[in-house]
Structure formats: structure tokens, C-alpha cells
Structure 1
């Protein structure tokens, strides 16, 4: 019994010459521009479009526009050349032409204002290193330098030097025989030698 090929499965219909030419022309035409919604996912994110960025105060927002945060740009912890890419605006940088140090772009007062504003929004870690290593809030409270005299009481001079004086006395007693021999001469040295040769009794 014979079976036709059409019974086993459908064959793909053959395309006409006119249809093939249409497909070729469609491939040659330039692609349509992406819609605005699709372009947002491909292009780099704009800070002004970010809803979180819009909530920042103007001073902090303008700073991040001029100096992008750490993930996009790194800043040096030490003074570098003024034309360097990682020049820190909070530090005095050196002019490569004149060899002099230029003042920071932001004064210490403005640095403090920027840090406090960034701390309120939880993005203080994105700022470059401050110029004078100033501490704020919890860091200032936990790592503050104690006032002189508050950690240890002053005490009297005799109480402060007691341990050192006891150590000096013990060292002098251990070297007493040598010190006396230097002043009393050979007779005392011979006396010490005879004393060292004597045997101590058992009782």
C-alpha cells in the first residue's frame, strides 16, 4: 500500500518570486527608531530623571551633577594635580604649571554643609574624602579625642613616679657591690672575692 508524502506531513508552501523580492526590500529599509520607553532602558540613566535625585536639596544635587558619585567616578584621598581626573574638590591640589597648591573648590564650611545634607539622605559615603578629616554625629561621638586628664587622674608627683623610682632602687641594689668597689678601691674587691670563696654552712 502506497502512502503519499502529503499524508505524512504538511509541506511548506513555496514562495513566489514577487514575495521574495518584497522580503529583500524590507531588509534593506532602515530600522525604525526606538520608542521613548524602550530608549530609557538602553541609554544611561539621567540623574535629573531619578525620583530620588529630585528630592535632594539644590546644593547637594548641583554638587553631584558637577562631581558624580563614587560608582561613576573615583576621587583621590591625597592632593594630586589640578588637571587630574581623580582630583578631589575638597583637597588642595597642585598646579602642574606653577607648582603651587590651589585652594579647594569647596571651603570647610561648604564641605560640612554638603556632608550634613548627604547624611540626612543616607548617601554621605558617596562624597569624596573631606579636607580636614572632620567627624560628624556618631563617628564624632565614638571616636572623639578625650580631654586631657579625664582618662587618668593627675595624682601627685610622688604617686606618678612611684613605679619608676622602685625600679631604679632595685637596679641600684643589684649593682651595690660594684658601685661600692669603684669608690673604696682594691681592698674592698679582695674582700668580696674572699667572701665569694667561703662556703656557707648547712645550718
Structure 2
């Protein structure tokens, strides 16, 4: 048995496991339920995915059957990821990834249509929910500078009003000569008569 047939058998076994637990199979937006009237075999399920995904899963079997690194690795590593660059330890040079970012994005989007995106090796790009849900926010976006809560602002204004009302007393404590100025101000204050 050649390695191509072995990998194909591994993929069909996996798809049998995957589709036996799922209740629906999505084929380009159309859904067909796996009820008594519509039972599907592993080969049929594997045949229903697009040719791009079919060829990819033959070259690189899905995750439960083979593990892939989550980042760059060396070229001799059996777990190397086709979506990441790999380093040759003998020459010290980096080999570019076997699938470019655009091609990996196309594969991911195609697999997402069928609900099998979790079977692909980890990709360097972030998609959809991962991009926004697990995003590390900048500090200035989470807590903008100069924006205090309303409660803090109210307290601040109350303290300021009290300080303005008691300003003469505060200054008189600091400068004893200020009391004379206050007396003169009272004397000069105009009266109604």
C-alpha cells in the first residue's frame, strides 16, 4: 500500500468520525441532515469537500491523526507546520512556508464553510472571532487618559466649591497678616444707605 492510499484512508476514517457526531453537513450553504433518509458514509463525506481541501488533507492529515507545531520549526521536524517558515539547521537559512498566507486564508475560509476549520494546522493569521475576541487592547483604548468617572468628577467639584467658600479662612491660617486685609475689605464694603 502506498503512502497516498494510507493517508487517504486516515482522512476517510477521520471524516467518518467527524460526520457521525455532527448532525448536519453544510455543502456551500445547503444543509442536509443525517437522518434515516440521508445517511452518509465516510468516503461520501470526504468526497463532498472541495478539491482544494481534499488535496490538502491527503498531504497533511487532520489534527487527531498528526500533530503540527504552533509556530516555525526546523526542516527535519516531522511535526513542522506547512503554514509557517522552517529553518534549515545545516545551512542556517529559512525556508518559506509551503502555503502562503493568502493560500492558507483561502483554505481556512473554505474549511469554515464546512465547519472543519479546527482540523487544519494552526495558521499565522488570525480570523474572525480570534481576531477580535482574543485581541490584546491598548491601554489608551481601555482607559483613556483624562476621562474620570462621573462620581469622581462630582466629588472633585464639591471639594472645589467648599475650598472656594472657605478660601479666606485657609489663607488667614497660612498668612496671619491677611486678617487685616479682610477687616479693611469689610469696612470698605458699600452698604445700601
CA distance in 2, matches of 1:78, 1:150: 29
Q: Give the 3 Å change call, closer, same or farther, for CA 153–76 of structure 1 in structure 2.
A: closer
1:84 aligns with 2:77: yes
1:154 aligns with 2:122: no
2:99 aligned partner: 106
Larger radius of gyration: 1
Q: TM-score, normalised by structure 2?
A: 0.50
Q: Which secondary structure state, in structure 2, belongs to the residue aligned with residue 50 of structure 1?
A: helix
1:64 aligns with 2:57: yes
Q: TM-score, normalised by structure 1?
A: 0.48
Q: Within 5 A, what are the aligned runs for 1:45-60? A: 47=12, 50-60=43-53
**1:122-142 C-alpha deviation (Å, 9 max, x unpaired):** 1111111112xx222222232
Cα displacement (A) at 1:117: 1.1
CA distance in 2, matches of 1:58, 1:108: 19
CA distance in 2, matches of 1:60, 1:46: 11
Residues 86 and 96, structure 2, Cα contact 8 Å, conserved in 1 = yes
Residues 11 and 46, structure 2, Cα contact 8 Å, conserved in 1 = no
- Structure 2 gaps of 5+ residues are 1-8, 16-41, 148-193
How many matched pairs?
112
Task: Tell me how large the CA RMSD over aligned residues is.
Answer: 2.7
2:127 aligned partner: 136
Q: Which secondary structure state, in structure 1, belongs to the residue aligned with residue 77 of structure 2?
A: coil
2:21 aligned partner: none
1:120 aligns with 2:121: no
- Structure 1 gaps of 5+ residues are 1-43, 157-203
**1:43-89 C-alpha deviation (Å, 9 max, x unpaired):** x5663961111111111111111111112211122322213211111
Higher relative contact order (CA 8 A, sep 6+): 2
CA distance in 2, matches of 1:70, 1:142: 24
Compare the two structures and name the one with the higher strand fraction: 2
Q: Give the 3 Å change call, closer, same or farther, for CA 74–138 of structure 1 in structure 2.
A: same
CA distance in 2, matches of 1:104, 1:69: 18
Q: Which secondary structure state, in structure 1, belongs to the residue aligned with residue 73 of structure 2?
A: coil
Q: Give the 3 Å change call, closer, same or farther, for CA 149–103 of structure 1 in structure 2.
A: same
